[in-house]
Amino acid sequence: EEAPAPGVGKHLRRKIGEAAVRLAQTANYEGAGTIEFLLDPKGKFYFLEANARVQVEHPVTEMLTGVDIVHEQIRAAAGEQLSYEQGAVWFNGHAIECRILAVDSANEFAPSPGRITEWVPPIGPGVRVDTGVTTGSVVPEYYDPMIAKVICWGKDRPSAIARMEAALHMMRVDGIRTIIPFHLRILGNRFFRDGQVDTTFLPRRMA
């Protein structure tokens, strides 16, 4: 995941945001949530779904805006006012998130359960890692295979991509296989780097 979305200009982003707010207001919705849209090649967008929860990809918004969404969700649930007015929320730079899954991307993304014998997460400016595992943790064959999220911020999209590449090369996960090599392939793909990404990207550009 990344933000801002490549190929979506300020005017279109504003229209999508306004549509999301209208939907939430119409439903009298309060609290953190996500409203998703699909965008066609002509710039028209269509409602896809609404999720009444904080989603996996929320850190890209946090890195981009400096707003702690989970903290604000708790304040809202407690009946308190948010810490920010909308006008005080600004985009700064670009953020990318890679979900680190315990799967073998060289074997049709087959699950790779087992014990993590070494865990070395990336560190550095603009790098964030959300995880619940460490050296010695056991990844079961059940449930979601996600073991971590790596989020990188840069002053612009190219620098965010470069920082993510460096972070994933720095990261070490032994004992199981992960999706990291596949993420690195995507990050190095020229179409991805040019922002030419849509729902057909993987079969068309990565097959």
Task: Please report, in tens digits, the pLDDT of each residue of the chain (207 residues total).
Answer: 999 999 899 999 999 999 999 999 999 998 899 999 999 999 999 999 999 999 999 999 999 999 999 999 999 999 999 998 888 999 999 999 999 999 999 999 999 999 999 999 999 999 999 999 999 999 999 989 999 999 999 999 999 999 999 999 999 999 999 999 999 999 999 999 999 999 999 999 987
What single-letter DSSP state applies at residue 162? Answer: H
Cα separation of 150 and 196, whole Å? 22
Cα separation of 5 and 12, whole Å? 11
Q: What is the CATH number of domain 2-88?
A: 3.30.470.20
Q: Catalogue the active-site residues.
A: 53
What is the value of pTM for the model shown? 0.94
> Could you give phi then psi for residue 55, rounded to 5 degrees?
-95, 170
Instruction: List the chain domain ranges.
Output: 2-88, 94-205
Please state the length of the chain: 207
Instruction: Report the topology of domain 94-205.
Output: D-amino Acid Aminotransferase; Chain A, domain 1 (3.30.470)
Fold match, 2-88 / 94-205? yes
- Quick one: pLDDT at residue 7? 87
